[in-house]
Structure 1
Amino acid sequence: MFELLLGRNPAFQALLRDAQTAAAANVTVLIAGETGTGKELLAQALHHHSARAAKPYATLNCAAVAEGLAESELFGHRRGAFTGADADGTGRLRAAHGGTLFLDEADSLPPALQAKLLRFLESGEIQPLGETTTRKVDVRLIAATNADLEAQVACGLFRADLYYRLNVLPLRIPPLRQRPDDVPLLAGHFMRLFAARYQRREAVFNVDAMIAMAEYAWPGNVRELRNVCERLAIFRAGEVVGVGDLPPEIPGYSRPYRPVAGFPVKARGRGAAGFGMGKYRVN
């Protein structure tokens, strides 16, 4: 699945090399990156290329679970353990036994649950709600965060001992604004993807549109780029997409764009640089 993580940017390529090494190691991984950078896709790739690939892969978004239910979701429960517990609950850790559990937005774990997760990481044992004995569980944990966990530790919002347990193999995904040379590659991939999905003719970007997109900061990162491309693939199918077709938050380019190694570039009359000969399709 690493082939689904697209990018030629040197920092991104270095991340992929580290991730491939981490995949083979049966230790905890902490993925850091802004929203929309692809943390879950990287976690899936780590599992897929690990010795646990044939075993279960479970996920839990810590920010999406009500605090009162988080312990049950993670560790499971016995019937009658709390109001509404009409049946036994397996919990994500037991569901992932032998495989991998991906904890997204791990910075959202409430303090009491942080202590119990630390106990699991130290002992490999869990105690479901309503049970008096512990159970052994064999799970590799991959955690992800878009927060500065070191700062949260310093502020007392996140346990230092849990942070060190999670941060055995740290992987940081660079934001898209730090890899503008990957925007043409990703945009071309998404336009082909959505043209095929919606059975429409593929739209292509002209030079000015591609330069504007490469200059844009992409606060939503790859997810935002994907959404823009999906919209254009639907509304501009078979057309050449210009700057005027882009969302209003993406202005026309403001400075000469630096040529990117591996992409065809020619000088333009008004001093900027262009990709290709007027419209841009990534092969």
Structure 2
Amino acid sequence: MIPTSLLLVEDDDSARTVLSMELKRLDLEITVVGGGQEALESMRTQRFDLVITDLLMAEVDGFQVLEAAKRQMPESQIIVITGHGSIDSAVRAMKAGAFDYLTKPIEPEVLSLTINKALERKRLLGEVEQLRAQVREKFSFENIVYASPAFHRALELVRKVAATDASVLIEGESGTGKELIARAIHSSSPRKNRPFVAINCGALPEGLLESELFGHARGSFTGAIANKKGLFEEAQDGTLFLDEIGEMTPALQVKLLRALQQGEIRRVGENRHIKVNARIIAATNKDLKDAVEKGSFRDDLYYRLKVFPIMIPPLRERREDILPLAEVFLKRAREKHKRPAKSFSPEAAQLLMNSLWPGNVRELEHAVERAVILCSSSEIQAEDLPPEVRVCGAPPLKPSKSPKKRKLSKI
């Protein structure tokens, strides 16, 4: 196990000696320097998990050490110590990224507790970054399974728009993987390290959807017992995915349009405006152009969202993707349910290929998972598949030949 490294920056000889003795009891790998300039030089050649720096020092002060540490070692935790504490300097240090601000003399128990909390925060931040990296990898373009030219063409458009900040409208039937595409765009964009926040606009009534998107103030309606951030704020500097945007009511469409045009929102029950900066990716399984013509969807919002439209073809129009996707779903379900199935029989594979899949990729995934659960051997058979797949995917019956007509006299 790699020992925790700590840099102590203190220009006062007696304070440096006392702190060094206390730190040596904590089983840390300690580097001690007598000033800010030495600290800058140490950080150029070595990375530290934790930095404890005095604030008031000649030439290079603690604020400069703090700023350099956060710039060069953003994952490091910085504890500022000073014998001349003030509210202004404490606020400035915390705004610059310090984990904590302690005034001398520092009790050994307080120092030990603060260090442990700082290291725990560093550990948690590391775990969060690991999870984010796993999510980015999971939803990267490289992990999207396809073999068809139709999906390849759609994906080429997706790759081009990912690097921009343009609004995207993803159109396609239910179950085609619109959210997967939205996540891939986010994971390949400059905003990839910021939040990806998704909401289904058709799953909530108007009042609740408004509160979810824009937030609300305490007491603004029955049950609003505290102030609540909306998803626009939660997605700050990241991506907000609005699924089933075609289900949004006209009144909410107006508020959404205002947020997109002005870059600000107003919580329910509040008068103040809050600046927001989130990339918008919307998705729909409806014909929004038809909805605009019928007057159920605002044309100005439609064109604001449709800066870059992407149409995801249904699975029946990209049959080359069926078996590659089915193989991925089989592997996933086998590991999840600890079942023996490893492949499809030729008959089962043919049924999968022939089915129309009205529920698209989602229906295929569920059908394969069901088959994996039912299958008791290493090969999924036709009878393991859902009845609707067996019926829809079966080859059409050949028409029987009509008997030759015979004369009545020969009967």
**Normalising TM by the smaller chain, what interval?**
0.7 to 0.9
Residue 253, structure 1, aligned to residue 387, structure 2: no
Q: Is the 8 A contact 1:92 1:101 kept in 2?
A: yes
Residue 140, structure 1, aligned to residue 279, structure 2: yes
Residue 123, structure 1, aligned to residue 262, structure 2: yes
Match of 1:96 among 207, 215, 235: 235
Q: Is the 8 A contact 2:175 2:361 kept in 1?
A: yes
Matches within 5 A, 1:50-199: 50-199=189-338
- Partner-residue secondary structure (3-state), 2:202: helix
Question: Partner residue of 1:27?
Answer: 166
Q: Is the 8 A contact 2:218 2:227 kept in 1?
A: yes
User: How far apart are the structure 2 equivalents of 1:109 and 1:165?
Assistant: 15
Offset of residue 237 of structure 1: 4.2
Q: Is the 8 A contact 2:163 2:190 kept in 1?
A: yes
Greater relative contact order structure (CA < 8 Å, 6+ sep): 1
Offset of residue 208 of structure 1: 2.0
Match of 2:147 among 8, 11, 20: 8
Question: Partner residue of 1:48?
Answer: 187
- Partner-residue secondary structure (3-state), 1:31: strand
Q: Is the 8 A contact 2:375 2:381 kept in 1?
A: no
Which amino acid is 1:19 matched to? Answer: V
Question: Partner residue of 1:279?
Answer: none
Deviations 1:99-146 (A, max 9, x none): 010001101111111011111111101111121121110110000001
Which amino acid is 2:394 matched to? Answer: Y
Offset of residue 77 of structure 1: 1.1
- Partner-residue secondary structure (3-state), 1:85: coil
Deviations 1:137-163 (A, max 9, x none): 011000000111011111101000000
Match of 1:231 among 362, 365, 370: 370
Q: Is the 8 A contact 2:315 2:361 kept in 1?
A: yes
Question: Partner residue of 2:13?
Answer: none
Which amino acid is 1:16 matched to? Answer: L
Q: Is the 8 A contact 1:203 1:236 kept in 2?
A: no
Q: Is the 8 A contact 2:341 2:380 kept in 1?
A: no
Which amino acid is 2:240 matched to? Answer: L
Q: Say which is worse superposed, 236-245 or 100-109, in terms of deviation.
A: 236-245
Q: List structure 1 runs of 4+ shifted beyond 6 angstroms.
A: none
- Partner-residue secondary structure (3-state), 1:98: coil
Offset of residue 244 of structure 1: 2.8
Offset of residue 242 of structure 1: 2.8
Q: Is the 8 A contact 1:204 1:238 kept in 2?
A: no
Q: Is the 8 A contact 1:107 1:158 kept in 2?
A: yes
Which amino acid is 1:77 matched to? Answer: H
User: How far apart are the structure 1 equivalents of 2:143 and 2:283?
Assistant: 19
User: How far apart are the structure 2 equivalents of 1:149 and 1:50?
Assistant: 26
Q: Say which is worse superposed, 218-227 or 231-240, in terms of deviation.
A: 231-240
Residue 212, structure 1, aligned to residue 337, structure 2: no
- Partner-residue secondary structure (3-state), 1:171: strand
Which amino acid is 2:369 matched to? Answer: E
Deviations 1:228-263 (A, max 9, x none): 1111111104332232332111225327xxxxxxxx
Which amino acid is 1:232 matched to? Answer: A
Unaligned runs of 5+ in 1: 256-283
User: How far apart are the structure 1 equivalents of 2:356 and 2:381?
Assistant: 18
Unaligned runs of 5+ in 2: 1-139, 397-411
- Partner-residue secondary structure (3-state), 1:64: coil
